Amino acid sequence: MVDDVPDLYPSEPLPVRLMNTVWADREGVHDSLASVAQLQQWARQCGVRPATGLSRKDLDRARELRDALRRVAADLLDDRRAGAVANELTAGDALRAINNFLATCTPELQSTGAAGLRLGWRSSVSGFERELVILALEATDILAEGEAGLGACHGPGCVLYFERAPARREWCSAACGNRARVARHYLRSKDAGEPRHAGA
């Protein structure tokens, strides 16, 4: 159902928001891009246009890019969280998928007016596919920074990623950070054993 598309952490960059359409709760790992209707809802939430009239092909392409970004990120961050990536996708296949999106782009020098210039991109595709290409371009900047740019949340059961800003950020949210600290405290207490009462 469309209602199954949570708007997780809208302050994250768009590539991270796409990656985080795989998420988890106490019931397990969920995929928010299981239907065209869900893709359209996600696109509306993120301000991606067009957000209507999308097709099964658009959905397949969005999922392809999403899964490729998650696979590359997992290798980059040595992320071994259960459910974090599609197991059948290799790192090489993921890189090829991302590069296939980038291959539709040609760099060009663009005028900004008043004698100003900037480096821009011209794409051979249009519509929603072009939006995915732009998203792939933005993702390369984040991935190229490695652990300085991207983090994997290791809160209990979490499979989300986050932009590592500030640099010391460790969790996707304060709630995940709190759960991780509680879990660590529990394990330390368990390993140390319960203190014996006097006279026991």
166 within domain boundaries: no
Task: Please give the residue range of the domain that contains residue 108.
Answer: 13-146
| Token pair of 24 as six digits | 């988890």
What is the per-residue pLDDT for 30?
93
- Answer whether residue 36 is part of any domain: yes
Kindly give the confidence (pLDDT) of every residue in the chain, 200 residues in length, as a single tens digit, with 9 standing for 90 and above: 445 788 888 999 999 999 999 999 989 999 999 999 999 999 999 999 999 999 999 999 999 999 999 999 999 999 998 888 877 899 999 999 999 999 999 999 999 988 899 988 889 999 999 999 999 999 999 999 999 999 999 888 899 999 987 777 888 887 887 765 665 645 666 666 655 444 44
Do the domain assignments include residue 179? no
Question: Residue 143's pLDDT is what?
Answer: 95
How many domains would you assign to the chain? 1
Residue 140 belongs to a domain:
yes
At 63, list the tokens. Answer: 């999922």
Q: What is the pLDDT of residue 192?
A: 61
Residue 89 domain-assigned (yes or no) = yes
Measure the CA–CA gap between 164 and 148, rounded to whole angstroms: 6
- pTM equals 0.85
Q: How far apart are CA 41 and CA 21, in angstroms?
A: 12
Quote the tokens at residue 5: 């598309």
